[in-house]
Chain A
Amino acid sequence: KAGVTQTPRYLIKTRGQQVTLSCSPISGHRSVSWYQQTPGQGLQFLFEYFSETQRNKGNFPGRFSGRQFSNSRSEMNVSTLELGDSALYLCASSLRPMGISVTGELFFGEGSRLTVL
């Protein structure tokens, strides 16, 4: 059974550009959540999607957005990149929305490492 796939794994952008990251969940999983990890702030929750609907959103500016498609694949977009957006972006999938019974167990991808110059 294939795991969670994130693309691209590494990318370099310059300030002001935008970036789109992709996450393909485990087959059959309908919940995808996104996280930002930096050395200073650690792991922070970005948003969660279930059945194409955003269920929760973390405390990030509107430059951070996401969506989920009917096949459960998800994308996140960061517009007008800033140096502080350099981070490892992780997504996780689960059968049902996270935190709900055993089917909320999370399976993480390897992450997309974004460097903003």
Chain B
Amino acid sequence: KNEVEQSPQNLTAQEGEFITINCSYSVGISALHWLQQHPGGGIVSLFMLSSGKKKHGRLIATINIQEKHSSLHITASHPRDSAVYICAVRSQSGGGADGLTFGKGTHLIIQP
């Protein structure tokens, strides 16, 4: 079973700061998802990665398969980025009871 660790658990920063959220996992994966959840519950998929780096607007996600590590970066952070960010992985073995395994999330607050 894959173990997914996220850090930090909580992060408070000032508007405009560069934000980094980290995710480490224990077993080889076929894909890694970064998700964003705002208060009230709705979840939005930000990225799905299997290698390299992806960029969308002010968000950048990277993954290092050898080190079993991924990072989510937010440039020029804004109060509307305040949310919980969740890392989820699908183990390489694929089938059976694996499905997706989730990290516990990083609660990000951006202050004006």
Interface residues of A (CB under 8 A from B): 33, 35, 37, 42-48, 55-59, 88, 90, 92, 98-102, 104-108, 110-111, 113
Provide the bound-state CA to CA distance between A37 and B41, in Å: 9
B48, A56: Cβ atoms under 8 Å? no
Could you show 8 A-B contacts with beta carbons less than 8 Å apart? A42-B104, A43-B86, A44-B102, A56-B96, A57-B99, A92-B45, A104-B48, A107-B45
Interface majority SS (helix, strand, loop, mixed), chain B: strand
Mostly, the A contact residues are strand
Q: A112 → chain B, closest Cβ, in Å?
A: 10
A108 touches B43 (CB 8 A): yes
Determine the distance from Cα of A61 to Cα of B44 in the docked complex, in whole angstroms. Answer: 28
Binary interface encoding of chain B residues 27-59 relative to chain A, with 1 for a CB under 8 A from any of its CBs, else 0: 000110101000001111100101000000000
Sorted nearest first, the 5 A-B pairs with minimum C-beta distance are A45-B99, A99-B90, A99-B31, A108-B43, A43-B102
| A108 CB contact (under 8 Å) in B42, B50, B95 | B42
Q: Which residues of B contact A101 (CB under 8 A)?
A: 50
Q: B97 — which chain A residues lie within 8 A by C-beta?
A: 56-59
Does B79 count as interface, using CB distance less than 8 angstroms? no
Q: Contacts of A105 on B, CB cut-off 8 Å?
A: 45, 48
Q: Given the interface contacts A43-B88, A56-B95, A99-B31, does A113 sit within 8 Å of B41 by beta carbon?
A: yes
B62 at the interface (CB under 8 A from A): no
